[in-house]
Chains A and B, each alone.
Chain A
Amino acid sequence: MGGGSTVFGKFPERSCEELGGEAVLAAIEDAGIRRKDVQFASCATVFGGYCIGQRVLKEVGITGVEIVNVENACAGGATAFRESWLRVATGQYDVAVALGVESMTTSPMVGKLIEPPADDLEGQMGLTVPIFFALMMKRRMHEFGTTLQQAAQISVKNHRHGALNPYSQYKKELTAEEVLNSRMICEPLTLLQCCPNTDGAAAVVLCASHIAKRYVSKPVTVAASALRSGDYLYRWKDATFSDMSHKAARQAYEMAACGPEDLDCIELHDPFTICELMHYEDLGLCEKGEGGKLIESGATLLGGKIPVNPSGGLLSKGHPLSATGVAQVAESVWQLRGVAGQRQVAGARVALTHVVGGYVAGLESGAVGVHIFKI
């Protein structure tokens, strides 16, 4: 298995085909396979348009193979990865590529608000994604005494990690004061507690275990794959906890026959600072309500007991929607192979990725994907 990624950032002059092609070629080179070995590809995009996989792959000499294009909002990358994994794991194909690509700056979305669908009652009444998470954060502050400082520390940590990652959109460390004093978006979430708009692509190569050693000496194994949709909001009583993430993680731990205590590094969904605090708890890294204490302890910083988002996460590395889930997998592959450079988690053997996607009226969220990797 190998991974490839473009640098994340704002590249209005670069097309989805160009971004995607760069990521695929990098992943193919990293995995040591030949282009003609690729038998299947799945590709995720939200704004990249139709036949995105074909449009990218024809630019890098891959044609005449089965290509499936998927969309699952921000969880699209995890969905594409799972799709390729299923094809290989069930023996249909030996070598597959999973790709996520997004160009936000050339999309119809650039500089615009996301228009809620006409039948989305809450969206019409003013609900936005930042509001949703600001409401959760306010509630957490009320129930658990989560502090603004603790939330700011998430952004400080992830920007510190991102500064070490050549693929990151932002390579600049921040102080908690800078985070808290940045422009107010939705009280108490400030601008530097929210992920940016990002262009980028990421790709990974998967192959059947019986031939993996032909290509790489230390192949990474997919130990678990879980993807599920969110439940009705009327059943989601606890707005300080991601029920769907908790359930997907439990499913993944069971499949991988491991628990949160066995993880060495994690890439999790941090579009807002509050999300990372909450996911510490629903992924089982700490008890409910203890997320604030976990970030304060330094355990999730590089060099800590369980580094979270060593890549910089969505907050610093950036969030090209569909590319994010694949980029998390590529990062995990590099971490487990020990080739993650300055952001390397020493001796990492088990990694988890987690991504949530899609505001859907009446549901907690559209989809959540959790994957566990071992070496």
Chain B
Amino acid sequence: MSEEPKEHIPFRKGLFVQEADKAYLIGNRCKDCGQVFFPSRAFCFQCSSQRMETVKLGRRGQLHSFTTSHMASTHFLPPYTVGWIDLAEGIRIFSPIKDTEGQNLQIGMEMGLVIDELWQEGNRRIVGYKYRPIS
């Protein structure tokens, strides 16, 4: 049973980018105090500077904590695994964790960014970012 290839739609515009085999999140950084934001902010919440530059970030991080939810949420059926990732750029983000294929998750382990399907809406695949352990 083959179906028509589904259209891939980014979950939100301007949040991440896939370049060849490398995926990045898109955030911004204050040119004055260096604070990094994801997602991007119109001005620096730390020092109020308006001198912001777009940065690609988030390729690597460490697992700060994780859990598997046995309750559904708006787009996800249980069980699904999520975590907080401490990015190399110094901020912590919440992210779904890609199917770890039996690999035991451990706090502190190295994680890498992947762009992957989050959920489907009719004929469309909604894609976004996830992290998975780097073996």
Contact = CB atoms under 8 A, between A and B. Distances in A.
User: Closest 5 CB pairs between A and B?
Assistant: A134-B67, A139-B65, A135-B65, A138-B65, A122-B94
A367 B66 CA distance: 25
Interface residues of A, number: 31
Contacts, number: 91
A97 B121 CA distance: 49
A187 B12 contact: no
Interface of A: 113, 115-116, 121-128, 130-131, 134-136, 138-139, 142, 183-188, 232-235, 237, 239
A113 B78 CA distance: 13
B39 interface: yes
B24 interface: no
22 contacts: A113-B72, A123-B74, A124-B75, A125-B95, A125-B128, A126-B69, A127-B94, A128-B71, A128-B73, A130-B69, A131-B67, A131-B82, A134-B69, A135-B84, A185-B69, A185-B71, A186-B70, A187-B68, A187-B69, A234-B37, A235-B46, A239-B84
A142 B128 CA distance: 29
B64 interface: yes
A142 B107 CA distance: 8
A88 B12 CA distance: 49
B74 A116 contact: yes
Given A126-B80, A126-B82, A234-B35, A183 B70 contact: yes
Given A121-B39, A124-B75, A239 B67 contact: no
A124 B11 CA distance: 9
Interface in B34-78: 35, 37, 39, 45-46, 64-76
A188 B118 CA distance: 24
